[in-house]
Structure 1
Amino acid sequence: MVEQVSIYRAPTTVADAEEIARWLRERIDAAVDVRDRFTAAHADEQLAEEFAETRVLSPYERETGNTMLGIVRYEERALESPEQAGGVIYDGLAVQRLFGDRLPADERGLDHLHIVLTSRVLGTWGDHDGRWHKRVNVLGQPALISVPGLYEAPAKPESYYKEKQKHALVSGDTPPREVLESQVDGDFLVEDDPRTTDALKGYALQAVHYLDTGEAFCEQDGCRLANPHRQPGVIDSQLREPAFCAEHADRYE
């Protein structure tokens, strides 16, 4: 049973760890504290190279890692100045392991859950289709929540891709994301969206729920514990009422 939850601030995003912590305290029977970003507290000389080893090299190649000197230097800069990082996908399970290895020895038990908010894009390999998939969260100990994953992992409304295709047919190139987002009808989350913190609350609760019950995700659409693969589903489950399905409302409301 989870008795303590520690949430680590995201370095460069609009996610408010304190607000997520307040929301969790009202719903779970565990103490919740907020800490500085994980890499600021636990970085060491090996971390940059270990991050380089978790880089996804191609969407369709299982092998990861590029530890050439220039890549390791990039990762060193990313640790020092996270706002300069971007455009890279990391193996979420590998990042989870390297973070787990750096947890304090007396805080590694499953009664003390660590939730790391990160500005890195995380992915997991799909054996069923032979490609990497971006993820919002990686459950376990520690649990990882990718803030850019909230915008990038779930597919956008079909109108977004139709508009993108239409623009490409007319102009021969892909329009800037900002242009597409302004032209498309349909509700979806965008980078630095003011709804980010509210949307991430459910993903944080999923991490607690998983350690407590072993249940990864709820199968009911519209529940905070669901894992929708499209943006309209994220909006429905994380930002609209009711917050939970009947089963999970009994537990968390």
Structure 2
Amino acid sequence: MVETVTLYRAPTTAADADAIAEWLRDRIDADVRVRDRLLGRLAGDDLPEALAAARVTDPYDRETGNTMVGIVRYEERALSAPERAGGVVYDGRAVQRALNARLPGEQGLDHLHVPLLDRVIGTWGEHDGRWHKRVAVLGQPALVSVPGLYEAPAKPEAYYEAKSKHAMLTGDAPPREVLEAEIEGEFLVADDPRTTEALRGYVLAAVDFLETGTAFCDEADCRLYDAHRQPGVVRAQLRDPSFCAAHAARYG
């Protein structure tokens, strides 16, 4: 049984860990705490190399990692100045293992750690032989990627149609901001003011996984649903009802 949940801030993002913790306290019977950025707390001598080894270097190659000196130095700088990081996808399971090994004697399943990350994480798809970006990788610790919220779930079809049309006419990819302004539809964008609200369900899903052993919910109208498209994220996280009947009885 989960007795303690510790959330870790991601100060370079729009996610408010304190607000998520307050929401969580009303729904679970556990001590919910908030700490500063986990990557900053654990930034020891070997963490940069572990992150470099977890880099996805090819979307169709299961093998990861580039531990050349320059890449490790980049990871060192990104740990000390996270606003300089970006443009990299990491193997979420490898990052999870690296952080678990460095938790300060708190690896037990009665104390769940949930770092809100400013990094993009992914998992390998055995069914199609490629990497997929993820919002969350459940387990201990449970990783919740803030940029993953914007990048992992697919956007409405009109977004990709407009992107393709613009490229055909100009030969260049349109700026993301232009597409986001032109396309009607429900999807979240970088630094979206709805970020904190949308992440609440993913954090609760992390608690539910340790409590029940079940990863996410099958009901599209439930906050514990892991939507693969942006309109589905909006439906599950930002629209009523908040939970399916089973999870409403548990957390509603």
TM band (smaller chain): over 0.9
CA distance in 2, matches of 1:226, 1:39: 27
Distance of 2:221 and 2:78 partners within structure 1: 36
Does the aligned pair in 2 maintain the 1:53–1:64 contact within 8 Å?
yes
| Alignment deviations for residues 111-142 of structure 1 (CA, whole Å, 9 cap, x no partner) | 11000100000000001000000000000000
Whether the 8 Å contact between 1:8 and 1:116 is mirrored in structure 2 is: yes
Partner Cα distance (1:177, 1:165) in 2: 13
Tell me if structure 2 keeps the 8 A contact 1:11–1:118.
Answer: no
Separation (CA, whole Å) in 2 of partners of 1:76 and 1:221: 40
Q: Distance in 2 between matches of 1:71 and 1:186?
A: 38
Equivalent pair of 1:125/1:133 in contact (CA under 8 Å): yes
- Residue pairs, 1:46-85, within 5 angstroms: 46-85=46-85
- Structure 2 CA distance for aligned equivalents of residues 47 and 29 of structure 1: 33
CA RMSD between the two structures: 0.6
For 2:134 and 2:164, the matched residues in 1 are separated by 24
Q: After superposition, where does 1:197-208 map in structure 2 within 5 Å?
A: 197-208=196-207
Gaps of at least 5 residues in structure 2 are none
- CA shift, 1:104, in A, is 1.5
Distance in 2 between residues matched to 1:167 and 1:69, nearest whole Å:
39
> In the alignment, what sits opposite 2:34?
34
How many residue pairs end up in the alignment?
252
How far residue 11 of structure 1 moved from its aligned partner, in angstroms, is 3.3
1:217: Cα distance to partner?
1.1
In the aligned structure 1, how far is the partner of 2:168 from the partner of 2:48? 42
Name the structure 2 match of 1:108.
107
Aligned counterparts, 1:224-235, within 5 A: 224-235=223-234
Using structure 2 for the length normalisation, give the TM-score. Answer: 0.99
State the Cα deviation string for residues 7-59 of structure 1 (Å, max 9, x = none).
01113101000000000000001010000100221111001111100000000
User: Structure 1 length normalisation: TM-score?
Assistant: 0.99
Q: Who is 1:44 aligned against? A: 44
**Cα distance in structure 1, aligned partners of 2:223 and 2:197:** 11
Percent identical residues: 67
Structure-to-structure mapping, 1:140-219, within 5 angstroms:
140-219=139-218
- For 2:107 and 2:95, locate their aligned partners in 1 and report how far apart those are by CA, in whole Å: 16
Shift of 1:177: 0.5
